Structure 1
Amino acid sequence: MPEGDTVWRTARDLHRALAGEPLVRCDLRVPKLATVDLRGRTVTEVVPCGKHLLARVEGGLTLHSHLGMDGSWRIHATGERQRGGPQHQIRALLATASHTAIGYRLPALDLLRTADEATVVGHLGPDLLGPDWDAPEAVRRLLADPARTIGEAVLDQSNLAGIGNVYKSELCFLLRITPWTPVADLPDPLRLTALAKKLLEVNKSRPARITTADPRPGRQLWVYGRAGRPCHRCGTPVRIADQGPAGRERPTYWCPACQSGPAEAPSATGRPMAPPPAPSG
């Protein structure tokens, strides 16, 4: 699932592949950009901004994209066979003489003036992996709605940018509070922001997220994706329930023994708990 670390890594790879060379091919497969041709222009840099990608192009233009839930950019040597999904899922193709970058299943793709980037990212709070990171400002924004649940507050990109559903669940586990705990009951808001930044920083350069310090398969995450399986810390079955406003609910994982605070009953959403894995051998 693309979160701030995935977007940071994608921006790094796109920058390495495209920056500094003129584009020899440009194919933007969304109706509003169907006639755009950036051939001959040079990509000057590709930068992440929370969960957004900004590819800045010679002439004061920026190609903005967002990965959403399952979007991705794939890079290969120009001339190699395309990989990453079927043709109908391609939304963007940018190529230099040496590398080709293909955007699959991108829910957002816009071309705008670089001077107008604030129209697509100006609403974001401090970026956990960005040069504008400001922990006190992130805390101020979180505390502005003290009755809001922590799970919803940290997913709100206008508070702090970069956290997604995986880190929401893992962060709450490490803080030993449930995601339904009100922001007002957070013992140390600065510790939350410091831990969130640490998690994204240590994972931004590796494809497999690890929050447990254990790289073994099945041991890398504390609770996310582990509904019905024993908690790594205490052995209690991990629970799952939807959280968030109607129509935008997200699955939330937590350990009822290790994490204190209010909790949603798993049966309230009708989402079944995953059974524990069958014993091997």
Structure 2
Amino acid sequence: MPEGDVVWAAARRLNDALAGRVLTRSDFRVPRAATADLTGRAVREVVPRGKHMLTRVDGDVTVHTHLRMEGSWRISRASAPLPRSHKIRLVLANAEWQAVGYSLGVVEIVRTSQESRVVGHLGPDLLGPGWDPAEALRRLRETPERPIGEALLDQTLLAGIGNYYKAETLFLRGVDPWRPVGEVADLDALVELARSLLDANKERVDQSTTGSRRPGETAWVYGRHVCRRCGGRISRADQGGQTQERVTFWCPACQPRGS
């Protein structure tokens, strides 16, 4: 699933193409919004909120989208022919540019004044202008018994971290993914590291937490078989509740049980 840095970059590209321009086409290819027509309205801005995206349009209208697992946005000149694809969920275009959303997991229209209905449950956004580390830490510490690997993925605690940054952050801090939140030493430093990794990658095409951009060298443990630091075997296991279970990667040597 695309993480906060990917959504931040996508929102910036959409904002550059759409903000301040009047829509000449809006094509919603989802049942609940199929009859909506925003042509003639100007896009005010496109902003990210964790893994969510909010396209604000004149008239107290917000188009709320979420990439989920496979979603993406592609931007082209307005004169370019629209691809024929059953994966297209939304088209927003003006006289210069067209933005096409593929396989979007969420496409809905809400009132801008009521955006809290769709993003109000989210915790502080690690890449947002209103990032509040104290509030994020407060929320994390409300369930001290919860495994840190689960807590970091809970978007109601802090928004933007996905499986990749969870695994890489815990590795770099030498923390066992199953260690309870209340037993994690220097939790504020761990959260700040996660924010720094997201921030460092938000303007890159390819994510990297190692400093290397070479294929196979961009991650310490995520998706790997051996640890880049010690050469030991990487472990992987499902973690989380039945509806939120995700595979976790860690190095037993660098992140021993109880660390």
User: How would you bin the TM-score normalised by the shorter chain?
Assistant: over 0.9
Return the alpha-carbon distance in structure 1 between the equivalents of residues 239 and 70 of structure 2: 20
- Following superposition, the deviation at residue 46 of structure 1 comes to 0.2
> 1:268 matched to which residue of 2?
none
Partner of 1:47: 47
Equivalence for 1:177: 175
Instruction: Indicate the residue corresponding to 2:218 in structure 1.
Output: 220
**Alignment-derived partner of residue 233 in structure 1:** 229
- Residue 56 in structure 1 maps to residue 59 in structure 2: no
**Partner AA of 2:12 in structure 1:** R
Partner of 1:113: 111
Deviation for aligned residue 1:129:
0.3
The TM-score normalised by the length of structure 2 is 0.97
Question: Structure 2 vs 1, CA of residues 232 and 82 (structure 1 numbering), >3 Å: closer, same or farther?
Answer: farther
| In structure 2, distance between residues paired with 1:109 and 1:230 | 39
- Measure, in 2, the Cα distance between the counterparts of 1:130 and 1:49: 7
Residue 260 of structure 1 pairs with residue 251 of structure 2: no
Q: How many residues align?
A: 259
Q: Which moved more, 1:72-81 or 1:51-60?
A: 72-81
1:67 aligns with 2:73: no
Where in structure 2 are the equivalents of 1:1-281 lying within 5 Å? 1-82=1-82, 87-226=85-224, 229-261=225-257
Letter in 2 for 1:17: A
Cα distance in 1 for partners of 2:194, 2:243 equals 26
Secondary structure of residue in 2 paired with 1:126: coil
Helix, strand or coil for the counterpart of 1:245?
A: coil
SS of the residue aligned with 1:155? coil
Change (3 A) 1:139 1:24: same
Q: Counterpart of 2:132 in structure 1: which amino acid?
A: D
Q: Any conservation in 2 of the 1:25–1:95 contact (CA below 8 Å)?
A: yes
Q: CA deviation at 1:261?
A: 2.2
SS in 2 for 1:88: coil
Unaligned residue ranges in structure 1 (runs of 5+): 264-281
3-state DSSP of counterpart to 1:184: helix
The one-letter amino acid of 1:7's match is: V
Q: Percent identity?
A: 54
3-state SS in 1 of match to 2:152: helix
- CA distance in 2 between counterparts of 1:167 and 1:240 reads 15
- Unaligned segments of structure 2, at least 5 residues: none
Task: Give the Cα separation in 1 of the matches to 2:125 and 2:149.
Answer: 18
Tell me, what secondary structure is at the counterpart of 2:194?
helix
Q: Distance in 2 between matches of 1:209 and 1:125?
A: 23
Q: Secondary structure at the match of 1:174?
A: helix
**Segments of 4+ moved more than 4 angstroms:** none
Query: Aligned partner of 2:77: which letter?
Result: A
Distance in 2 between residues matched to 1:170 and 1:247, nearest whole Å: 23
Maintained 8 Å contact 1:212/1:220: yes
Conserved 8 A contact 1:76-1:82? no
Per-residue deviation at 1:82? Answer: 4.2
Residue 14 of structure 1 aligns to which amino acid in structure 2? Answer: L
C-alpha displacement at 1:79, in angstroms? 2.2
- The alignment yields a C-alpha RMSD, in angstroms, of 1.3
